[in-house]
Amino acid sequence: MDRALFPEGVERCSFGKFALWMGFITAFFLFGLFAMLLIFYKGIVVTGLDNYFGFGLWITFDLAVIALGAGAFFTGFLKYILRIKQLENIINLTVIVGFICYSGAMLVLTMDIGQPIRAWFGYWHPNVHSMLTEVIFCITCYCLVLIIEYVPLILEQKQLNKIPFLHHLAHNMHVNMALFAGIGAFLSTFHQGSLGGMYGVLIGRPYAFREGFFIWPWTFFLFVLSAVGCGPIFTVLVCTFMEKLTGRKLVDFKTKALMGKIAGTMLTVYIFFKILDTWAWANNYLPSVGMTFDQMFYGVIYGKWLMFTEIILCGLVPAIMLITPSIRNNPTMLYTAGILDCIGVTLNRYLFTVQAIAIPVLPFDSWQTYAPNWAEWATSGMIVAYGFLVMSLSYRYLPVFPQERMLNK
Amino acid sequence: MKAKEFNIKWGMVIDLDKCTGCGACMTACQVENNIAPMVDASNKLRTLSWMLVYELSNKKAAPDAEIAYLPRPCMQCGNPACVPVCPVVATDKNEEGGIVSQIYPRCIGCRYCMAACPYHARYFNWEDPVFPKGMEKALSPNTSARPRGVVEKCNFCHTRLMKAKDKARQEGGNPEALADGAYMPACVEVCPTGAITFGDLKNPEHKVHELAKNENAFRLLEKLGLAPQVYYMSKREWVRKLGDNYAATGKAGAAKKHS
Amino acid sequence: MGLDRRGFVKFVVGGVAGTLFTPVIWQGLDDASIWSQNWGWIPRVPKGEVKTKSALSKLCPSGCAVKVKVIEGKPFAAVGNAANPMSKGGVCPICAGGAQLLYSPARVKSPMKKVGEGKFEAIKWEDAEALLVEKLTPLKGQEGKIAAISGDETGSANEVLSALLSGLGNAGGFAVMPGEMYTATRGVKLMGGNGQPGFDIEGADLVLMIGADALDSWGTSVANLKAFAASHPTGGAATAQYIYAGPTLNNTASVCDKWLAVPPTATATFSLALAHALIEAGAVSSAADFAEYKALAAKAAAGFEAATGLKAEALKELAAKIKAAKAPLVVAGASFGQGAGALDFVAAASLNVLLGRVGQKGGMTVLGAAPKAIASAADRENAKDAASLLAQVATGKAAPAALLIYEANPAYALPQAAEMAKAMGNIAFKVSFSTYMDETAALADLILPAPHPYERYDDAMNPYGVAKATYLAGKPVLKQPVLDVKDPVDVLLAAAGKLGLSLGFETYADVIKAKAKALGADFDALAAGGIWNGEPKGGALSLGAGALAKAAPAAADEKAVALAPVTRLAYGSATLATPPANLLNVRDTELKGKDLFVQLNAATAKKLGVAEGNKVKLSAGGAEVKALVHVNEGVAANTAAILLGFGRSAWDEFTKGKGDNVYKILTVSDEAGTGLKVWAGSTVTVAKV
């Protein structure tokens, strides 16, 4: 019944099936929405956060989705600035993934702050020395950029595009897209870095603190690199997941492998520096503040296995897999490496967020542990559900995949 | 990084050998700063305690066990970890005296400062202040009640500093050179053993000036380089050693690389 | 399409710009920042000039001389009174939050009459007072029909109560809640003296506290802390040594030069073994019973290691320190302020006699009896103890028909509390004069709300521990009480009048003024924060060997461990549940949620087969207390330490149902030779649940 709205020349499932799917996702969304309203009403006392863990699942979630959403700016940068033409096959998807990740992260942030009504104080009373100010500025600005990048895609919807004004608008926006891609790349690099900087400047948290270059601690650069090392491959994973779900080919494997190569290259650079950084931190910085490597870990919940999983299993291993053409060109291996890569970066964000503040710095203090409660999971789940909804609608009605017609002939 | 310097540096020297851990400072702090009583105060991960008395142990078996109590106000660091991270300038170290301020109407409650402070001196206001019926009539005039969702902390009873300065002006004195004892926070005022000495660390006429230089004086986590304005002292070596991390070197007084 | 691209852009840009010129956005943002700070439900703070008024804050057992800060006529904070030598500017953690307790949710708001099990009805004062007179009238002149329990150790209200009972023909009905003053005065008698003992901590250069938690919950703790502080100048060398011998590494022990872990069952053994070590080191006494004492000490020394788990070496070191000191003082007391027999006291106090420290500066003193305001009142030390009274009620040996309870909580704060509360059920008419809805008030037939210290006249004669006769008095800080309360003494005096008995006074204020006059003190100066002191006295005391010889050594029970109830002043007292503001002070290794922790050292825990976090029950005398195990090396061998003062069944949401009442498992026994009820040496069995 909604066939008239489909992109030109592609097949979609029946409306009933689609409605069922959307209903299923909406249930999750509504549950999260309930948790969110409860949080706005009662405050974040309903979460599992506490005096020791002011940051928890939400911040980890934010950092992770922002890193994973980095495919948008980096692919945009490569396509529009470095003119790698092949990437146009997947560029729309990166924009949508990026948009979902960033808008979702902003929503989580408004929940996460104790005074959501004052969320705009970040602009009104900015502290130029705070990495978080930079994050607030760049994330909101970049989210606007992503909207600008997303809008022409919406306007290209078959029926909307028939309206001459919208058609022209979309066209004009497309023409200037390189400009936005450039702005996006600039903004995104900075806030990815600033997110790392947020932790690197914590002089009171030996797990996170790093020295650095000029005003930027090393974590600034490591976060940028790790984001571009996982963002592109995350888009590939999303694409492949959609292909499995819909049973249709959406992007050719060559493009996916190229994205894998891009991510792999960046991940390799990243992991090289990450290992160097960790080595220097453990052998130089920690002793200088009287602490040892062993003191940074505790039991199973904050054990060393986490760091080894992050750096070796989910860092070094996927990096090697992705830069080795023979491995990368095997679809199963590519996706496996991609999954490991994304887990590694997410784990990195988790460790910097949670482990860093779980460590008792005062010698007479003790380890505290943190587990998110239902309200945090539900709201995080809401963002995922929101992403599924946006993606489902976009897939069904918008011309996201230029190759789809050709690949499914 | 260099610590911010002022001509006046309000600070404390807390003699841990005199602190019995009675808790009068914690009570007086709550009273002065209008902290609402908590029904379940045993969940220390959700309580508000601007002043918190820690219990330190020498970790020896009975009968050689020893304990000490350590009151922990805000350290008012010379190089605070919390100030530069605040995205909205809700906390600053910009006033003569070096007290790290906290502006509740400005704070958005992001808790980045809490993540930054290794002393756990900052507390998030999890719930709106609810006093048992009638008890709001016993509120102190010195600190406004804070809504939920903001971060709060000890400010050395800053209103008392303002009042002491006013008094000095009225009496023709110099508000920038208060006499020793003219200004003291609530915890200092009530402490039954006088374990907390308070004053201007830079003023030779104030007792803290000399005490801070005592051979037994130390600050918490000095190696991190936050340069607290709160000093502790103890004749017991094991207590002094608990003031900083020595696992890496095994001995007190490792190089201070980061100050 | 009427709207071309240019037109659309114009519309959007114009619309946004136009809105920015209206106040809508700016006003909205401004309002948002104001609202988010000033929601209607956020309480406003008062403005105005702060005044200070002197008060006697009898919220803690010894009473603090405080300066109350008042704004708009309302108290909001209390600090120590620097001009008063008992305070010297210090205040205890209870009295520091005194202003907030004015509005404690546990306060009784008006007179209440019981109308059913656990049900009360608010009544008018005139009806309440009429009911009191109506119930007492038929009992007048009948010996044994009226009894009274007072929980106040120092106030002249006791004289009124005692005189009232005598006047009504019930002179023997006056009982007091257990406290050190009571047993120690008995102990002094056993040593041939007469009066309340005092300890000149300030003047001593070595203070050995045996049991007595003198820097926290024992005696005049603020004055003691000030004495400690004076001898330990910050940044300077200490001029006195402080040593604590007791079951736990408590607040007092935390600042002492040495802690000797002595189980509560071995207090007397420790004292006598120390006497032996001192005698070995050359100490002699001219007291007539020295030879007998010496033999007793030698016997105790033989059993020292087994009884305490300490090495004999520790005693030798201690004896050497004491010998080297110029003015050593032994402070004797139960580790939780009650329940020790007179003999524990005698054993410790005899060390002062042995060392020749009685009546010396920095030594032990004996305070003579103070002049009374009401001649017909009995002497304090002649009162019954409440535990004995209720034990007699339980067995039918005593059968009062009316019980007046003044500032006391016998249903909660007596050993074997459950039995005591049950015994109270045998008394037909119980009147509780109480500021708070405590467990006893909840059992009473009539509750007559008493004022908070800031709302009343009150006094304190010789708070326990002072070295010389001391008198403090105070008048109300508030012009009007914040609730519909009346001073219990005023009520009792009025009732006496209606019962045809004149005690010579109409109000408590008059009684206190008369007391001051009898002492030769100026009431107005006292009410302004002053103090009256008499001269310290000595007196020849024996070593108490005769009494000590009768002491039966505790029967060792292999399965049981000694119970060390722990009091911390900040957490409240026998008459006050933990104040709301002080709950924060309670550690999460002491109370977590609704569970108390029992503290055991690792060796004891191992022996009992329990580990950190285990849920256990402590049982004794048919009652039990549930707790979680916390392994704590600050506990003596074979000893289970647990906080006293929790497990409230009345009061308020801040305390009700939290933890368990340890009084339940304190078991009373009769002390050989003195006939006193004792429970400081209670033992319990610990079992996992």
C228 closest CB neighbour out of B37, B60, B193:
B193
Fold of the C554-688 domain: Barwin-like endoglucanases (2.40.40)
Written as one letter, the residue type at A393 is: L
Q: Domain residues for B162?
A: 10-241
Chain A, 342-401: which have a CB under 8 Å from a chain B CB? 356-357, 361-365, 368
> Nearest chain A Cα to C8, which residue?
A165
Query: Does residue C362 register a pLDDT over 80?
Result: yes
Q: What is the pLDDT confidence band of residue B252, given thresholds at 50, 70 and 90?
A: very low
Q: Residue C161's closest CA among C338, C387, C473, C408? A: C408
The predicted complex's ipTM stands at: 0.93
- 3-class secondary-structure state, position C559: coil
> In angstroms, rounded to a whole number, what is the distance separating the alpha carbons of residues A127 and A136?
11
| Residue C94 contacts residue C63 (beta carbons within 8 Å) | no
> In angstroms, rounded to a whole number, what is the distance separating the alpha carbons of residues A334 and B56?
53
Residue C139 structure tokens: 């009992």
- 3-class secondary-structure state, position C41: coil
CB-CB neighbours of B154 under 10 Å: 27
Domain of residue B217, CATH code: 3.30.70.20
B contact test, residue of C561, C633, C638 with most B CBs within 10 A: C633
> Nearest chain B Cα to C482, which residue?
B134
| Residue C310 contacts residue B63 (beta carbons within 8 Å) | yes
By percentage, how much of chain B surpasses pLDDT 90?
91
Cβ of A62 under 8 Å from any chain B Cβ?
A: no
pLDDT at residue number C5: 63
Residue C149 structure tokens: 């329990």
DSSP class per residue in A132-178: HHHHHHHHHHHHHHHHHHHHHHHHTSTTGGGSHHHHHHHHHHHHTHH
Distance from the Cα of A138 to chain C's closest Cα (Å) equals 22
Q: Tokens 């592609």 identify what position?
A: A10
Q: What are phi and psi of C250, to 5 degrees?
A: -90, -170
Fold of the C50-101 domain: N-terminal domain of TfIIb (2.20.25)
The sign of the dihedral angle between the CA atoms of A203, A206, A212, A218 is: negative
> In angstroms, rounded to a whole number, what is the distance separating the alpha carbons of residues A354 and A287?
22
Distance from the Cα of B85 to chain A's closest Cα (Å) equals 4
Q: Residue C684's closest CA among C633, C623, C619? A: C619
| Residue B51 contacts residue B72 (beta carbons within 8 Å) | yes
CB contact under 8 A, B26 and C591: no
Q: How many CB pairs under 8 A join B and C?
A: 238
Give me the mean pLDDT over the C501-510 stretch.
Answer: 94
| Residue A318 contacts residue A340 (beta carbons within 8 Å) | yes
Q: Residue C441's closest CA among C97, C109, C60? A: C109
Number of domains into which chain A is organized: 1
Give me the mean pLDDT over the A336-340 stretch.
Answer: 97
> Nearest chain C Cα to A124, which residue?
C29
Written as one letter, the residue type at A65 is: V
E strand spans, C33-137 = 50-57, 64-71, 74-80, 112-116, 119-122
> In angstroms, rounded to a whole number, what is the distance separating the alpha carbons of residues C269 and A229?
74
> In angstroms, rounded to a whole number, what is the distance separating the alpha carbons of residues A201 and A194?
10
Q: Residue A382's closest CA among A110, A17, A15, A93? A: A110
pLDDT at residue number C383: 85
Residue A75 structure tokens: 């692919």
Out of A379-388, C10-19, C465-474, pick the least confident.
Answer: C10-19
pLDDT at residue number A334: 96
Residue A356 structure tokens: 């860093």
CB-CB neighbours of C358 under 10 Å: 23
Give me the mean pLDDT over the C657-679 stretch.
Answer: 87
Chains with at least 3 CB pairs less than 8 angstroms from chain A: B, C
Q: How far is CA A381 from CA A30, A95, A384, in A?
A: 10, 21, 5
Number of domains into which chain B is organized: 1
- 3-class secondary-structure state, position C688: strand
| Residue C254 contacts residue C566 (beta carbons within 8 Å) | no
Q: How many CB pairs under 8 A join A and B?
A: 183
Give me the mean pLDDT over the C27-32 stretch.
Answer: 78
> In angstroms, rounded to a whole number, what is the distance separating the alpha carbons of residues B18 and B196?
9
B contact test, residue of A118, A219, A286, A353 with most B CBs within 10 A: A118
Contacts of C36 in chain A (CB under 8 A): 115, 117-118
> In angstroms, rounded to a whole number, what is the distance separating the alpha carbons of residues C367 and C436?
33
**Which tens digit of pLDDT belongs to each residue from C200-247?**
999 999 999 999 999 999 999 999 999 999 999 999 999 999 999 999
Domain of residue A343, CATH code: 1.20.1630.10
Q: What are phi and psi of A182, to 5 degrees?
A: -65, -50
Give me the mean pLDDT over the A145-158 stretch.
Answer: 89
CB contact under 8 A, A44 and B126: yes
Give me the mean pLDDT over the A103-111 stretch.
Answer: 92
Domain for residue B66, yes or no?
Answer: yes
CB contact under 8 A, A114 and B150: yes
**Which tens digit of pLDDT belongs to each residue from B180-207?**
999 999 999 999 999 999 999 999 999 9
> In angstroms, rounded to a whole number, what is the distance separating the alpha carbons of residues A281 and A210?
7
Domain for residue B81, yes or no?
Answer: yes
Give me the mean pLDDT over the C662-673 stretch.
Answer: 87
Residue C506 structure tokens: 């109409």
Q: Among the CATH numbers 3.40.718.10, 3.40.50.12280, 3.40.228.10, 3.30.300.30, which is that of C196-367?
A: 3.40.228.10
Residue C522 CB-density burial (10 A; 0-12 exposed, 13-18 middle, 19+ buried): middle
B22 closest CB neighbour out of C43, C93, C586:
C93
| Residue B55 contacts residue A172 (beta carbons within 8 Å) | no
Strand partners, C241: C206
C contact test, residue of A110, A117, A167 with most C CBs within 10 A: A117
Going by their DSSP bridges, the two strands B52-57 and B196-200 should be labelled as: unpaired
Q: How many CB pairs under 8 A join A and C?
A: 22
> In angstroms, rounded to a whole number, what is the distance separating the alpha carbons of residues C261 and A165?
90
pLDDT at residue number C34: 74
Domain for residue A224, yes or no?
Answer: yes
**Which tens digit of pLDDT belongs to each residue from C158-217?**
999 999 999 999 988 999 998 888 889 989 999 999 999 999 999 999 999 999 999 999
Query: What does the domain layout of chain C look like in residue ranges?
Result: 5-35, 50-101, 112-179+375-449+481-531, 196-367, 554-688
DSSP class per residue in A177-223: HHHHHHHHHHHHHHHHHHHHHHHHT-TT-TTT---EETTEEHHHHHH
B contact test, residue of A41, A46, A110, A113 with most B CBs within 10 A: A113
Domain for residue A380, yes or no?
Answer: yes
- 3-class secondary-structure state, position C543: coil
> In angstroms, rounded to a whole number, what is the distance separating the alpha carbons of residues C595 and C616?
11
> Nearest chain C Cα to B135, which residue?
C103
**Which tens digit of pLDDT belongs to each residue from C539-561?**
789 999 999 988 766 666 677 89
Cβ of C70 under 8 Å from any chain B Cβ?
A: no
Domain for residue A409, yes or no?
Answer: no
**Which tens digit of pLDDT belongs to each residue from A11-55?**
899 999 999 999 999 999 999 999 999 999 999 999 999 999 999
B45 closest CB neighbour out of A52, A201, A203:
A52
CB-CB neighbours of C587 under 10 Å: 18
Give me the mean pLDDT over the C573-592 stretch.
Answer: 94
> In angstroms, rounded to a whole number, what is the distance separating the alpha carbons of residues A314 and A306?
10
Cα within 13 Å of Cα(C499), Cβ side: 27
Chain A, 241-300: which have a CB under 8 Å from a chain B CB? 286-292, 295
**Helix C267-280 / helix C342-354 crossing angle, nearest 10 deg:** 20
Query: Does residue B258 register a pLDDT over 70?
Result: no
Q: What is the pLDDT confidence band of residue A168, given thresholds at 50, 70 and 90?
A: confident
CATH number attached to the domain at C112-179+375-449+481-531: 3.40.50.740
Chain A, 104-123: which have a CB under 8 Å from a chain C CB? 115, 117-118, 120-121
Cβ of B1 under 8 Å from any chain A Cβ?
A: yes
DSSP class per residue in C112-132: EEEEETTEEEE--HHHHHHHH
Distance from the Cα of A163 to chain C's closest Cα (Å) equals 8
Q: How far is CA B162 from CA B167, B170, B184, in A?
A: 9, 12, 11
> Nearest chain B Cα to A131, which residue?
B85
> In angstroms, rounded to a whole number, what is the distance separating the alpha carbons of residues A384 and A404?
25
Contacts of B110 in chain A (CB under 8 A): 112-114, 132
A contact test, residue of B112, B122, B258 with most A CBs within 10 A: B112
Going by their DSSP bridges, the two strands C112-116 and C119-122 should be labelled as: antiparallel
pLDDT at residue number B1: 47
CB contact under 8 A, A126 and B87: yes
Cβ of A366 under 8 Å from any chain C Cβ?
A: no
Distance from the Cα of A145 to chain B's closest Cα (Å) equals 22
| Residue C65 contacts residue C472 (beta carbons within 8 Å) | yes
Q: How far is CA B102 from CA B6, B16, C439, in A?
A: 18, 27, 43
CB contact under 8 A, C35 and A121: no
> In angstroms, rounded to a whole number, what is the distance separating the alpha carbons of residues C605 and C609?
6
Q: Domain residues for A179?
A: 3-404
Out of A4-13, B125-134, C236-245, C434-443, pick the least confident.
Answer: A4-13
DSSP class per residue in chain B: ------S-BEEEEEETTT-----HHHHHHHHHTTPPP-TTTT-TTT---SSEEEEEE--PPTTS--EEEEEE-----SS-SSTTT-TT--S---STB-PPP--TTT-----HHHHH-TT--EEE--S---PPTTGGGG--TTSPPPPTT-EEE--S-HHHHHHHHHHHHHTT--TTSPPTTSS--HHHHH-TT--EEEEETT-TTSHHHHHTTSTTEE-TTGGGT---SEEEE-S-HHHHHTTS--TTTSSSS------
Secondary-structure percent of chain A, ordered helix, strand, coil, rounded to 5 = 75, 0, 25
Average pLDDT over chain C reads 92
Going by their DSSP bridges, the two strands C669-670 and C119-122 should be labelled as: unpaired
The C-alpha torsion from A293 through A298 and A299 to A303, rounded to 10°, is -50
CB contact under 8 A, B118 and A205: yes
> Nearest chain A Cα to B111, which residue?
A54
* CA-only gyration radius of chain B, Å: 18
**Which tens digit of pLDDT belongs to each residue from C455-484?**
999 999 999 999 999 999 999 999 999 999
Domain for residue B251, yes or no?
Answer: no
- 3-class secondary-structure state, position C345: helix
